[in-house]
Structure 1
Amino acid sequence: MKLKDGFVLRQIADTWVVMAIGETMMDFNGMITLNETGMFLWKAVGEGEELSALVSSLMMEYNVAKEQAEADVKEFCDKLVEIGCAEYIA
């Protein structure tokens, strides 16, 4: 999983948002609001963690079962790809 260029994570008061910057703003109108877990995963994806490492990190950080962490990571990553913020890499 790799974040695409042209997106930044910002904290506005108590809220985490992802916004498009530069030329990406032409194609992506708006911003994405993330909860604490989403912010955690966004940062991990940005650091280049593979999917299995994302699952392990989520399990450790939030003390959740492997099955739940796998489902949450898949849902989050699929959504990032769907909206154009990230892509799966081989």
Structure 2
Amino acid sequence: MEIFMLKQQQGYVLSKIGPHTYLLPYGQSIADQKHGIIINETGEFLWKMLETPQSMDTLITALAGHYHMDITALQLLSSTVPVYFLFSGYIPKTDILP
């Protein structure tokens, strides 16, 4: 079984503006007309973890610890979370597919 490592998509920066947290494009991402998004506390937590490449298991374990949750429930997400990131465009295909 291969372990896929996830990482931050280059060209975005985490910014707090008022009460909201955003992932905002910069540099070539702006030229490519990429859009910024508002993220919640969980998104911010994951983005910060992805400063260095992480496996899905590591992310799930960290989320379970951060939110004091049963890891079993979060493990059910391990097959769907990469799909969300893939289709949102914030983690490129090459970072999660062989």
Q: Aligned in 2, Cα 1:51/1:28: closer, same or farther, shift over 3 Å?
A: farther
Which protein has the bigger helix share?
1
Q: Aligned in 2, Cα 1:39/1:89: closer, same or farther, shift over 3 Å?
A: same
Using the size of structure 2 for normalisation, the TM-score is: 0.75
Query: What root-mean-square deviation, in Å, do the aligned CA atoms of Structure 1 and Structure 2 show?
Result: 2.1
Q: Which moved more, 1:64-73 or 1:17-26?
A: 64-73
2:46 counterpart of 1:38: no
In the aligned structure 2, how far is the partner of 1:46 from the partner of 1:81? 17
2:61 counterpart of 1:56: yes
Size of the alignment, in residue pairs?
Answer: 90
Question: Larger Cα Rg: Structure 1 or Structure 2?
Answer: 2
Q: Indicate conservation of the 8 Å contact 1:2/1:89, yes or no.
A: no
Runs of at least 5 residues in structure 2 that lack an aligned partner in the other structure:
1-5
Runs of at least 5 residues in structure 1 that lack an aligned partner in the other structure:
none
Identity %: 22
